[in-house]
A = this chain, B = another copy of it.
Amino acid sequence: MLGEHSSKQYDNELEAIRSKVLLMGGIVETQFLDAMTCFRIGNPERADRVIREDDVVNQLEVSLDDACSHLIVRRQPTANDLRTIMATIKIITDLERVGDEATKIARVAKNLHKRGNAVVNHYEMVRGVANTATDMLHDALDAFARNDGQQALALIAQDAIIDHEFRSIMRNLITFMMEDPRTISAALDTLWVAKAIERIGDHAKNIAEYVIYVVDGKDIRHTRSAAPAISEELPE
């Protein structure tokens, strides 16, 4: 049995980890916003910054995983406490992938503007879905910070909206490409950006599911309510 002293130390260490996860969350949120700005107006310096930040995010992933392991070994948490650590380990992976997707958007934006393709920039087409994903990611981190299962549950439903919007973007892009094959390269750039945004929505949904796991003790992954059938369909 852990004494009060030891239990307090456990709480402090866990809180330090949680703060660092939120720091990591803040960085990937900024990466995503900056990457979308690059896609909208160009700005290669900012794109480079997004790409560089990815190293910081990667290092945070490795050091946070390590901190979680140390906490388990030294404090031998109870089943309840362990649930929080396990969820945190999973959330770290999702945040790192959000950083990857933001980096991909920054790379596309950089190449696109370098090629002078800004004229056929389809930013307007993805603006809506990007806003939805931004809100989802923000809400997911907020729900994690406040251990708010209600908020987490509410945002999961938005994933279906993103998938719906993504399919509609696909259809629009196909129409554009068919009407003017010279736009195919630019359309594919937009497609990759849309795909990255859709993935960020997926990761936000995953984070929300882990928050619910911590708060309610229920693993709702792969259940109907968490993942409506529509979100499993591939866009056509």
Contacts and interface: CB of A to CB of B under 8 A. Distances in A.
Nearest to A202: B100
Contacts of A195: 195
B232 A61 contact: no
A90 B58 CA distance: 15
Interface in A92-106: 93, 103-104
Contacts of A185: 174, 236
A73 B82 contact: yes
A217 to B, nearest CB: 11
A11 interface: no
A181 interface: yes
Interface residues of A, number: 48
B111 A86 contact: no
B79 A76 contact: no
A86 B61 CA distance: 14
Query: What is the oligomeric copy number?
Result: 2
Interface in A24-64: 55, 58-59, 61-62
A117 to B, nearest CB: 11
A178 interface: yes
30 contacts: A55-B222, A58-B222, A61-B221, A62-B219, A62-B221, A62-B222, A66-B219, A68-B86, A69-B79, A69-B82, A69-B83, A72-B82, A73-B77, A73-B78, A86-B89, A89-B89, A104-B234, A111-B234, A111-B236, A170-B188, A174-B184, A177-B184, A178-B181, A178-B182, A178-B184, A181-B181, A184-B184, A192-B234, A192-B235, A195-B195
Interface of A: 55, 58-59, 61-62, 65-66, 68-70, 72-73, 76-79, 82-83, 86, 89-90, 93, 103-104, 107-108, 111, 170, 174, 177-178, 181-182, 184-185, 188-189, 191-192, 195, 219, 221-222, 232-236
